[in-house]
Amino acid sequence: MSPGSARPWLRWSTCLGVVAFSWLSFGPLPPAAAYVRTLASGSGLPLTWRQPCVGLEVLVGSTPASVSSDLFRQATNEAAAAWSSSRVACTKMSVTVVASPASKGFVEADRVNKVQFLTGSFWGRTARDEVDRLPYPSNALAITSVFADRNTGQIVDTDIEINGTGPSWADLVANPDLRRSSNTHDLQNTLTHELGHVVGLDHTCDGGGQVNLTDHRGNTVPPCPGPPEVQETTMAAIVAPGDTERRSLAADDREAVCAVYPDDGKSACGSDDSGFLGGCSYGATPKTPAFFLFVLGAAALGGSRRCRRRKQRRV
């Protein structure tokens, strides 16, 4: 892909018609399998934040009627904490959340990392121009769009869109009876996986259309569902409806965020000449430079329960 091109590449997690999600905990890392970095198409550079201080703006006005603004905020806060130094001692990554009353935000490289529901009849990219309003797969639970400089691999913006047009959403830990539903999904579970894409990680099994098919050890990424140690990772491309175990990171996911953003004893949110507020990715720019790479990460929806379920890991 030439430097002047802004054509996207897509990644869909539709293996077995199920979903992809995440976990986290403290303490020494147990034996891990492997993790996978998202790569810039063309240059092949791994995507990363220049400063591991990422601010998310939660559009609480976008929720469907069945999801309260409090649940949306809480689920996003917990998912953000799962990838942050407050719960993973060996990383300096810091993901923070602010709430906005807005009901809609555009997916673009404006350096405002939005998290929003899409409701109504159209499940597709929220774009200013009609030509960019591309439909998403109907079985996708959520889509994470990542904008990065393909020449450096530096992430400049991420936007998460949650499917509010079909699946039902809830806190399945607080409401365990809802786990019996074939169409109810845990919001925090989903968001924790999507935030793995935000920090620059790809799926640990290939659910179809994945560009990087090599893990950090140089091994080929298996097709989904993969062996048990792959199925247990946060960034696996499959999970069953009703799953809540992936709210906390698996060993592989913790190893990844610590390797990419290791704790060096310095503050993650320092000064930054990029125009970000406080070194975090708040703030805005009006246009998308042509050298930005647009990447999609998706969690797919379905009813299969063939995944091996691991024991709950607590924070």
State residue 260's pLDDT score.
Answer: 98
User: Which pLDDT does position 298 carry in this prediction?
Assistant: 64
202: containing domain = 15-300
Question: What is the predicted pLDDT for the residue at 146?
Answer: 94
Residue 4 lies in a domain: no
**pTM beyond 0.75, yes or no:** yes
Cα 203 from chain centroid (whole Å): 10
Pairwise CA distance, residues 237 & 20, whole Å? 4
> Total structural domains in the chain?
1
Q: Is residue 193 part of a domain?
A: yes
**What is the DSSP code string of the chain?**
--TT----B-----GGG---------SSPPP-----B-B-TTT-PBPB-SSSEEEEEEEGGG--TTS-HHHHHHHHHHHHHHTSTTT-TTB--EEEEEEE--S----SSSS-EEEEEE-SS--B---SSGGG-PBPPTTEEEEEEEEEETTT-BEEEEEEEEE-SSSEEE-TTT-GGGGG-TTEEEHHHHHHHHHHHHTTB--SSB-SS-S--B-TTSPBPPBTT--HHHHTSTT-S---TT--GGGS--HHHHHHHHHHSB--SS-SS---TTS-GGGSS-S--SS--TTEEEEEEEEE------SPPPPPPP-
Dmax (CA) of the chain: 52
Residue 66: inside a domain: yes
pLDDT tens per residue across span 87-120 = 999 999 999 999 999 999 999 999 999 999 999 9
* Dist CA 148 CA 92 (whole Å): 20
In a domain, residue 166? The reply is yes
Taking the C-alpha atoms of residue 107 and residue 125, their distance in angstroms, rounded to an integer, is 7
In a domain, residue 179? The reply is yes
* CATH code of the domain covering residue 265: 3.40.390.10
Neighbours of 309 (CB within 10 A): 14
pLDDT of residue 222: 92
- 80 and 56 Cβ atoms separated by less than 8 Å: yes
Residues with pLDDT less than 50, the chain: 1-31, 273-290, 302-315
Does the bond joining 31 to the residue before it have cis omega, within 30 degrees of 0?
A: no
Please report, as a single letter, which amino acid is at residue 173.
V
Residue 124 lies in a domain: yes
Q: Residues 206-242: pLDDT tens digits?
A: 887 777 889 999 999 999 888 988 888 889 887 778 9
8 part of a folded domain: no
> Is 128 inside any structural domain?
yes
